[in-house]
Structure 1
Amino acid sequence: MSGSVRVFLACLAIFSAQAEASNGPQYAGYGVQAMGMGGAGIANPTDALAAVNNPAGMGAVGSRVDGSLTATAGQLRSDVHGAKNSDDVLVFVPGFGANYQYRPDITLGLSVSGYGAGIDYGKPIPAFGTSNVKSELAQVLVAPTATYEFQPGHYFGLSLKLGYESLMLHGLENFGATNDRDHALGAGLGIGYLGTLAPGLRLGLTYSSPVWFQKLDAHEDIIPAGRLNMPQQAGLGLAYDLGAWTFAFDYLWIDWSRERALSNSLTEGGAPGAGNGPGFGWRDQNVFRFGVNYRYSERLQLRTGVSLANHQVPDREATLISIAPCNQPKSAHLGFTYQLSDELEVSGAYMYDFRHITRGTGASEGVEAGGELHMLTVGFGYRF
């Protein structure tokens, strides 16, 4: 990967860092319009970020360019054995996509998405170490995507997922961590299908392999096997158009349990950094997304939705949740799109993550963490 590309990805990662997320470091939705519908986009592609939800969706959006900016504001509060901590977060995360109808049955496109979580308490936590506690995980995926319409209304899509990852850990000396930052490159694949089953009824299927990252050498003494990969995931979506209404449903499975750094228990028997060493103790997530879009007029669309998931952090593994605030698995969404001209549209979305408190049990007794999150996204789309 060229130096200029690395610099570009590093800049995007800086934007993504310290943003609390909903499902691990993932957001509840990608693409402004999908975000307004609870993230439901596997069978309802609307813009050139569709490949993030389902690579085959790019086949149905035509030639267009989309850009967005998400403002994320949140509060995280934690209590670690009597040490009370707080962090107020305000970060901005960009999104970008471009798609080109190369032939009537082939599209070529690119989607860029960001993922992240982190905190900065500005003081030490005695149970963790002696320096100020701060963590930042930022991941950026650039996904070149091609689709093929093999029958009218039926698309197959393939994405190459090129990843950049940055991890900084500070104030965790008691766990063997060094106060350092490291970077890694990674790659994976995504495939998808989108098809019209009956008039107005669409089905979407998608699978993403893990994004396998290089070893984070600065953290190999604490992270199992020294690697922090993005997990494999699979999803199914349905969408139905009924007059001016569109109804969409997604089911997404996120396989956190196959990634040792995330799934190994904190009380795992191996030495820190070993493949069977201690990790975050996460379990798999099942995510359900429901969305409704209403075409109010030729120019204005209104939408809403919800995203509901199980919490990936068991109470018995809550010790490290105070440094990895991925703690809000249920959210409500609103959105709109206004057609400024035949080519240009503006969209907005708002998401509220419902406050969730995790109270540790067992080995995590005495640890409590929780927060709430607001996201406001504005984007423009241009058809050509």
Structure 2
Amino acid sequence: MKSFKLVLAYLLLFASTAGASNGPQYAGYGAQAMGMGGASIANPTDALAAVNNPAGMGMVGSRVDGSLTATAGQLRSDVHGAKNSDDVLVFVPGFGTNYQYRPDVTLGVSVSGYGAGIDYGKPIPAFGTSKVKSELAQMLIAPTATYEFQPGHYLGLSLKLGYESLMLHGLENFGATNDRDHALGVGLGVGYVGTIAPGLRLGLTYSSPVWFQKLDAHEDIIPNGRINMPQQAGLGLAYDSGPWTFAFDYLWIDWSSEKAMANSLTQGGAPGASNGPGFGWRDQNVFRFGMNYHYNDRLQLRTGVSLANHQVPDREATLIAIAPCNQPKSVHLGLTYQLSDELEVTGAYMHDLRHITKGKGASEGVEAGGELHMLTVGLGYKF
């Protein structure tokens, strides 16, 4: 168990602070999916497919994929006249491998990172007396098996093994201690993908919450002492027409069932209690659209967009200054170049459509937002 924690802690060094798209989640996982706005539930392309839909691993064959995403930009906040900014530069790795064990069975594993945080380098008087820095970093390892129960129809199952790290600094006024804590978690993911008409694929997927252990250092301020990853469900369609592929995803993210995220800051209960104060997030409905064009035998070009409602209501904006997850709309570009029959290189770029949250009611006087760019480079090897 100790060695497992050390491996995951090493991986999380790459992903200590970020501002993500849908909570701590990125718009897309896998370099090719990122270039298509994340649209991937019915359009698996590499060995990170299990992050988007476990059944997708049945369609990608034997291969190994690795990627590195660089996130850069500036995040700003104004908390009752205290103006702060953070210049972000974060690197998040992704990895996947898949093996065609039998013609109808694949075995693989996908590794993905999630995170959000801020480092202002100075205190915010409304929050505390020391410099404000927050980090939530999560890593999932998903061993996955698929079964082709009919030609062109696949079922997939993933076991999700999670590691979580939380650090809060400069929040003494909320009762937080300047500590870092860690937790392990577990969940399940299931999925289906299949050809339902010539050229047309349907994908369905569901992930349970990833249930994490208590964060003992923060159990006095976090409802139930836990920050779980929420359950989510999605539907995807993909259509191939000559050199073109068109893909669409709908994803529901159930933030409202996770008390640490869903409870209002003015909930009324004692800090750390089940009905204690939280971030006040609401559920998200994410719509992703993507296109891929096979320009020739070696080059593919793609683009996409991801659109979601903002999960932080204006009346719950107070804590967004330490959890800047408010860039839910983004545009994407990407390409893949086939270096040989076995090796391919992929690049993808994402630009978020800038959103500023302005607090109302109990959050009056708080503003936060910014602008982020993501650049992903990936390598894929087929064997």
* Residue equivalent to 2:163: 164
- 1:3 positional shift: 2.5
* Residue equivalent to 2:63: 64
Q: Secondary structure at the match of 1:12?
A: helix
Kindly provide the CA deviation profile for residues 58-99 of structure 1, in whole angstroms up to 9, marking residues without a partner as x.
Answer: 000000000011111021110000000000010111100000
* Residue equivalent to 1:232: 231
* Residue equivalent to 1:365: 364
Name the amino acid aligned to 2:114: Y
* Aligned mates of 1:328, 1:135 — CA distance in 2: 18
* Aligned mates of 2:73, 2:17 — CA distance in 1: 10
* Residue equivalent to 1:150: 149
Kindly provide the CA deviation profile for residues 304-332 of structure 1, in whole angstroms up to 9, marking residues without a partner as x.
Answer: 00000000000000000000010100000
* Residue equivalent to 1:258: 257
Runs of 4+ in 1 over 6 A off after TM superposition: none
* Aligned mates of 1:228, 1:69 — CA distance in 2: 26
Q: Is 1:162–1:186's contact at 8 Å kept on the other side of the alignment?
A: yes
* Residue equivalent to 2:295: 296
Q: Is 1:14–1:138's contact at 8 Å kept on the other side of the alignment?
A: no
Q: Is 1:128–1:171's contact at 8 Å kept on the other side of the alignment?
A: yes
* Aligned mates of 1:74, 1:215 — CA distance in 2: 32
* Residue equivalent to 2:222: 223
* Aligned mates of 2:80, 2:182 — CA distance in 1: 32
Q: Is 1:186–1:212's contact at 8 Å kept on the other side of the alignment?
A: yes
Q: Which runs of 5+ in 2 are unaligned?
A: none
Q: Is 1:20–1:74's contact at 8 Å kept on the other side of the alignment?
A: no
Name the amino acid aligned to 2:227: L
* Aligned mates of 1:196, 1:5 — CA distance in 2: 39
Name the amino acid aligned to 2:354: R
State yes or no: 1:5 paired with 2:33.
no
* Residue equivalent to 1:16: 15
Q: Is 1:138–1:166's contact at 8 Å kept on the other side of the alignment?
A: yes
State yes or no: 1:334 paired with 2:337.
no
* Residue equivalent to 1:315: 314
Q: Secondary structure at the match of 1:90?
A: strand
Q: Is 1:281–1:313's contact at 8 Å kept on the other side of the alignment?
A: yes
- 1:11 positional shift: 1.4
Kindly provide the CA deviation profile for residues 111-149 of structure 1, in whole angstroms up to 9, marking residues without a partner as x.
Answer: 000000000000000000000000000000000000000
What is the TM-score when the length of structure 2 is the normalising length? 1.00
Q: Secondary structure at the match of 2:354?
A: strand
Q: Secondary structure at the match of 1:312?
A: coil
* Aligned mates of 1:80, 1:349 — CA distance in 2: 35
Q: Is 1:25–1:326's contact at 8 Å kept on the other side of the alignment?
A: yes
* Residue equivalent to 1:124: 123
Q: Which runs of 5+ in 1 are unaligned?
A: none
* Residue equivalent to 2:46: 47
Alignment of 1:64-103 (within 5 A): 64-103=63-102
Kindly provide the CA deviation profile for residues 175-211 of structure 1, in whole angstroms up to 9, marking residues without a partner as x.
Answer: 0000000000000000000010011100000000000
- 1:19 positional shift: 1.2
Question: CA-atom RMSD, angstroms?
Answer: 0.5
* Aligned mates of 2:221, 2:245 — CA distance in 1: 47
* Aligned mates of 1:8, 1:152 — CA distance in 2: 39
* Aligned mates of 2:157, 2:274 — CA distance in 1: 31
* Residue equivalent to 2:245: 246
Alignment of 1:134-145 (within 5 A): 134-145=133-144
% identical equivalent positions: 87
* Aligned mates of 1:62, 1:122 — CA distance in 2: 47
* Residue equivalent to 1:193: 192
Name the amino acid aligned to 2:91: F
- 1:8 positional shift: 1.4
* Aligned mates of 1:162, 1:193 — CA distance in 2: 21
* Aligned mates of 1:307, 1:54 — CA distance in 2: 17
- 1:16 positional shift: 1.4
- 1:57 positional shift: 0.0
Aligned length: 383
* Aligned mates of 2:371, 2:135 — CA distance in 1: 18
- 1:4 positional shift: 2.4
Q: Secondary structure at the match of 2:353?
A: strand
- 1:231 positional shift: 0.1
* Residue equivalent to 2:285: 286
- 1:52 positional shift: 0.2
